[in-house]
Amino acid sequence: MRRLLMVLTVSALLPFAAARAEDKPDCSAQKTAVDDAVKASKVKPDLSSCADKKGKEKSECEKPLKEQAKNDSKAAKEKVAEAKKALGCCQNPKKKGCS
């Protein structure tokens, strides 16, 4: 009798559990955005144009390229943070800071 009661209870609650699992939003676009932003933040500067130069000329050639890469890296890190926030809000809309 006890087993029968447990089986009936579980079978009665099973549709509610399945419906709850289906209510989760599809966050694949946000996940892709996070992955792309992380890849973009790990890009190294292309110094191949300065490879044929030597000494002071080479360092003067590399300096603006490295400075530009540094600025690009900062912007990419900001995009990573924004993408992660969007993903977090998608996964849990009740999270603090999500509207």
Task: Return all residues near 46 (Cβ < 8 A) that are at least 6 apart.
Answer: 65
Question: What are the pLDDT digits (tens) for 41-89?
Answer: 888 888 888 888 899 999 999 999 999 988 988 998 899 999 988 888 8
Task: Give the pTM.
Answer: 0.59
How far is CA 80 from each of CA 27, 37, 49, 87, rounded to the nearest angstrom?
16, 5, 29, 10
Instruction: Give the integer Cα–Cα distance in Å for 15 and 11.
Output: 8
Instruction: Give the integer Cα–Cα distance in Å for 66 and 58.
Output: 12
Q: What is the mean pLDDT of residues 13-32?
A: 70
Buried b / exposed e along 8-20 (16+ C-beta atoms within 10 A): eeeeeeeeeeeee
